[in-house]
Amino acid sequence: MNILVINCGSSSLKYQLIDSATENVLAKGIVERIGMEGSCITHTPAGRDKVVKTQPMEDHNEAVRLVIEALIDPEHGVIKSLSEIGAVGHRVVHGGEKFKTAVKIDASVIKDIEDLSSLAPLHNPANLIGIHACEKNMPGVPQAAVFDTAFHQTMPQKAYMYGLPYEYYEKYKIRRYGFHGTSHDFVSNRAAEILGKDRKDLKIIVCHLGNGASISAVKNGECVDTSMGLTPLEGLIMGTRSGDLDPAILDFICEKEGLSSAEMNTVLNKKSGVYGLSGGISSDFRDLTAASKEGNELAKMALETYCYHVAKYIGSYTVAMQGVDVIAFTAGIGENDTGVRKGVCEYLKFMGVNIDEEKIMTRGEEVTVSTPDSKVTVMVVPTNEELAIARQTLAIL
Ligand code: ADP
């Protein structure tokens, strides 16, 4: 069965068509600037050149229609008709406490995702727009919602409660939820598979280091802690997001700089992280590494601070799980930035982490970068959230 995986944002829509039998990607693409000037679709059929088509599109309905058009196009398409799409799997950001696994979408699931929008006001409404657009363009094709938060729902209460008055949890469900769950699940599972072991017998720390970054502790196959919180702003220092802060800093800056809370939110989400720390050089680790090599002190400091924070989290999750067998690096930085991996592992030598200096330089592929005598196995495991969504969609439908 072919499964269309959709990741819908407020003005963009990423898609992949995956053959669930072979797990091959038949085509992938992105529709950008939906409802804005300069909207376009970039469609890449597997093994062929990408096709970019700039075309005005009013809304997500139009975007989904264009995706289908591209998929069945006689020249650039990969299927003959819509009937060859057996199911649609949607990435949905917030499933709250309600969704502990992926689910088949029906009216009550849609209502629940709507009700959870207050916890993810930027994401859940956009995900719903994508669901409605697919319903409209592909009536009768079953759809599944795969939640970013679901994998983390196994966390014990001591890991998800904040030190706030309990009434806020009762009234507003303020707690740690965690995100990137599909990736943490996929990578921890794959790491165990590569090692020929059962995930149930392992203590794994997954470092998902992309533009957004989070880290999780997966003990005996279940998530027991993760660094992102009520929102994806908490935890590690990220590309442009601050990560952990003293909460009193916010009021202090607002008062000194005369910022509203919305403006402060923009600073925390868009102007902070390694981008802000480096004095605005870049949020991209390739640029920061280049600047650091040229002697830029702020770039160097930003990279050092980043690695230090990742290492500190690894330390705390080792305590949370009372040990660690595997540390897996994934996502854009985890898979490609050899400097960050080395920088983090440098801190872990005391716990018997021994790195193979050659292997740690490998980029973008599955590899064990620790030596055979290392007390902890350190691996690079490329994530594949789309494949994970397709698998879960198939499983529940
Ligand atoms: P997201 O999905 O959160 O947008 P990704 O997982 O795609 O992010 O990661 C993107 C980031 O990965 C880039 O901003 C960059 O910092 C980093 N990155 C990508 N390729 C490389 C590379 N070859 N070397 C170092 N860093 C890289």
All domains of the chain in start order, with CATH: 2-147 (3.30.420.40), 198-380 (3.30.420.40)
By most ligand atoms within 8 Å of CB, the mutation choice from 28, 306, 310, 336 for ligand 1 is 336
d(CA 101, CA 152): 10
d(CA 268, CA 283): 13
Contact 86, 141 (CB under 8 A): yes
- At residue 64 the predicted structure's pLDDT band, cuts being 50, 70 and 90, is very high
Q: What is the pLDDT of residue 265?
A: 94
Shortest CA distance to 271 belongs to which of 257, 3, 279? 279
For residue 61, what are its two tokens? 């309905």
Q: Model confidence over 221-265: pLDDT tens digits?
A: 999 999 999 999 999 999 999 999 999 999 999 999 999 999 999
Mean pLDDT of 186-205: 98
> How many whole angstroms from 190 Cα to the centroid of ligand 1?
20
Contact 277, 302 (CB under 8 A): yes
Burial, 201: exposed, middle or buried (Cβ in 10 Å; 0-12, 13-18, 19+)?
Answer: exposed
- At residue 10 the predicted structure's pLDDT band, cuts being 50, 70 and 90, is confident
Return the ligand 1 atom nearest residue 337 CA: 25
d(CA 219, CA 216): 10
Sequence-distant (6+) residues with CB within 8 A of 244 are: 234, 235, 236, 309
By most ligand atoms within 8 Å of CB, the mutation choice from 284, 307, 386 for ligand 1 is 284
Q: What is the pLDDT of residue 239?
A: 96
Q: Model confidence over 291-340: pLDDT tens digits?
A: 999 999 999 999 999 999 999 999 999 999 999 999 999 999 999 999 99
In degrees and rounded to multiples of 5, residue 264 shows phi and psi of: -65, -40
pLDDT over 90 (residue 154): yes
Cβ(234) to ligand 1 under 6 A? no
Sign of the Cα torsion 330, 336, 342, 347 reads negative
Q: What is the pLDDT of residue 88?
A: 98
Mean pLDDT of 120-138: 93
From start to end of 100-238, where are the E strands?
Answer: 103-104, 143-147, 203-209, 213-219, 222-226
Cβ(210) to ligand 1 under 6 A? yes
d(CA 362, CA 183): 20
Cβ(382) to ligand 1 under 6 A? no
Q: Classify 20 as helix, strand or coil.
A: coil
Contact 29, 42 (CB under 8 A): yes
In degrees and rounded to multiples of 5, residue 226 shows phi and psi of: -155, 160
Contact 273, 240 (CB under 8 A): yes
Q: What is the pLDDT of residue 242?
A: 97
Cβ(84) to ligand 1 under 6 A? no
Task: Please give the model's pTM, rounded to 2 decimal places.
Answer: 0.95
